[in-house]
Amino acid sequence: MTRTIPIRNPRTGANDYAITPLDRGQLEARCRKLRAGQAAWLALGIEGRAKAMLELCDAVDRHYDAILAALCADTGRYEWSVNEIEGLKGITRMRCATAEEALAEASGGSSDPTLRFQQQHVPYELVGIISPWNYPLILCMIDAITALLAGSAVAIKPSEVTPRFIQPFRAAIAEVEHLRDVLDVFEGDGETGGMIVDLTDTLVFTGSVRTGRKVQERAASQFKTVFLELGGSDPAVVLDSAEPDFAAEIIVRGSVENSGQLCCAIERVYVQRGVYDAVCERVVSRMQALRMNTDDIKEGELGPIIFARQAEILREQIADALAKGARVLTGGKVVEHGGGLWCEPTVLVDVTQDMAIMRDETFGPIVPIMAFDTEDEAVRLANDTEFGLSAAVIGEEAKAIAIGGRINAGGMWINDFDTMGGVGARAEKTAFGCSGLGGTRYGYGGFRRFLRKKAIVIRCCRSLSRM
Ligand code: NAD
């Protein structure tokens, strides 16, 4: 039976778009087609595959206006939609430049002179990608790029919250010879996501812990490896040695990027007592200078909360914090404009670790700030979480690095925020705790997780070689 899913516009609240997911039979047929194309794709070699990936960048440029318009409608924000398209091209070029080295096969001998081996890489035939709504284009492609370069075919299922970009993006893919046979993007919700788990050999899931658990269970019962890239409640620690305005700039940038709808957003701030008042004051004034893009999508720094349920979560977390004794220094409300929902840039103080805003993922432009006295206390507070995605430490460099070394998280930003983009070609990081599972998305490991390893071990046998 055909299912149609209405899609809400985050700026108007109106359902002005719809998707009709493929049924199981149709999806199976499309995945079979991808599998059929994979051998020829692999045979192209790394150079040939990289050439096709770079051609995709050109095709995206030819469809730039349509993809940008769709992303703007999907997310209600302009600047980060441009950044997503530019980011996709930048990551693709960076990955193409390092693919050869990352995918190099090894060969070698052993302590036994008659024994040697060849290390072969065998890519999974079909990799599945299930992605979320906060960066619809980048997050559906970030792992697809490395999987494709590694030699796999890829089936992508983006979020049903933001599916408008799929059609213009598929039009770009269709223009790239070779790639169109091994890369497909499917509209659909969780039901389609479940089928993608069933129909692929391995999978990267980016999304919530709750859904990640379901995906993991479903894949495990089929003996499949999945890589989970999940949520966080990232802390920032500000030391007495930090310059308050410098710290405030990092905190605000890290908290409000994409209106806070970022997995590695700074969501908890711990400030050493000596600079606490100065940092709070500067964070407040920087937050008050931010504008919401309610009237003009190209104006202002804060877009709407893309997913209506997320706006409810923000309301619930603020209410919970206030009920438990927190104070609002600025903002504090989710407001409606023309049917869309925007969260005011918000600063909370007098917060405690038992509040939902400090324990759960927030995903909004909200900065809760708590004072601490000793470094041990800062480390304890930062680690008081089930997550472990990333963290920031701001202050004198050597001390900040030492404290960062004690915080349980895969990405550690010293005196900045989310600088992985600058080093991600080689640097690797994995998620700690409930923030994820499996190998690194970054560095060479980002390619290698799509390869099965085959050791061809050769006994050099004299009697046979004389034959
Ligand atoms: P979500 O878990 O609700 O949905 C993610 C995807 O899973 C969607 O495509 C959805 O359709 C699909 N899905 C839902 N049920 C499914 C099922 N039973 N089987 C298979 N697929 C299913 O997440 P979301 O609300 O779209 O995204 C927000 C979350 O993503 C946040 O927690 C955020 O931190 C996380 N995230 C993590 C990263 C990262 O790199 N670690 C990046 C961005 C977002």
Q: What is the pLDDT of residues 262-291, one digit of tens each?
A: 999 999 999 999 999 999 999 999 999 999
Whether the full predicted model's pTM is greater than 0.75, yes or no, is yes
CA 131–ligand 1 middle distance (angstroms): 6
| Percent of the chain topping pLDDT 90 | 96
CA 191–ligand 1 middle distance (angstroms): 13
Residue from 161, 200, 263, 441 whose mutation best tests the ligand 1 pocket (most atoms within 8 A of CB): 263
CA 124 to chain centre: 22
CA dihedral (415, 389, 265, 17) positive or negative = positive
Orientation angle between helical segments 64-75 and 45-62, nearest 10 degrees: 70
144: three-class secondary structure by DSSP: helix
List the 115-123 sheet strands across, edge first.
Answer: 107-109, 115-123, 451-459
Question: What tens digit of pLDDT does each residue of 50-70 get?
Answer: 999 999 999 999 999 999 999
Return the amino acid letter for 199. Answer: L
Q: Which residues are catalytic?
A: 229, 263
Give CA–CA dist 167/165, Å, rounded. 6
Which atom of ligand 1 is least distant from the CA of 209?
32
Provide the H-helix boundaries in 103-243. 136-150, 166-174, 190-199, 209-221
Give CA–CA dist 183/200, Å, rounded. 13
Which of 124, 363, 95, 403 lies closest to 230 in space, CA to CA?
Answer: 363
Question: What tens digit of pLDDT does each residue of 6-45 get?
Answer: 999 999 999 999 999 999 999 999 999 999 999 999 999 9
CA 338–ligand 1 middle distance (angstroms): 27
Which atom of ligand 1 is least distant from the CA of 189?
11
Pocket of ligand 1 (CB under 6 A): 130-134, 139, 157, 159-160, 189-190, 193-194, 197, 206-208, 211, 214-215, 229-232, 263, 361, 389, 436
Give CA–CA dist 61/311, Å, rounded. 33
Question: What tens digit of pLDDT does each residue of 326-364 get?
Answer: 999 999 999 999 999 999 999 999 999 999 999 999 999
**Residue 466, pLDDT score:** 55
Q: Whose CA is nearest to atom 43 of ligand 1?
A: 263
**Residue 2, pLDDT score:** 84
Strands (E), 276-430: 327-330, 334-337, 340-343, 346-349, 366-372, 390-394, 411-414
234, two tokens: 């990232």
59, two tokens: 């095709």
Residue 424 binned pLDDT confidence (cut-offs 50, 70, 90): confident
Q: Which residues contact 317 (CB under 8 A, 6 or more apart)?
A: 355, 356, 357, 360, 362, 364, 366
Residue from 137, 157, 159 whose mutation best tests the ligand 1 pocket (most atoms within 8 A of CB): 159
CA 25–ligand 1 middle distance (angstroms): 24
Strand duo 115-123 + 107-109: pairing: antiparallel
CA 436–ligand 1 middle distance (angstroms): 12
Question: DSSP letter at 365?
Answer: S
| Percent of the chain topping pLDDT 70 | 99
More confident residue, 80 or 460: 80
CA 34–ligand 1 middle distance (angstroms): 24
- Residue 290 phi/psi, 5° resolution? -80, 145
**Residue 431, pLDDT score:** 97
Which atom of ligand 1 is least distant from the CA of 263?
34
Which atom of ligand 1 is least distant from the CA of 307?
25
Question: What tens digit of pLDDT does each residue of 236-246 get?
Answer: 999 999 999 99
- pLDDT above 70: residue 467: no
Question: What tens digit of pLDDT does each residue of 307-320 get?
Answer: 999 999 999 999 99
Strand duo 340-343 + 334-337: pairing: antiparallel
CA distances from 397 to 55, 402, 445, 464 (A): 42, 9, 28, 63
372: three-class secondary structure by DSSP: strand
- pLDDT above 70: residue 100: yes
Give CA–CA dist 297/175, Å, rounded. 30
Give CA–CA dist 452/222, Å, rounded. 17
**Mean pLDDT in residue range 181-192:** 98
Give CA–CA dist 427/38, Å, rounded. 29
Which of 94, 82, 230 lies closest to 165 in space, CA to CA?
Answer: 82
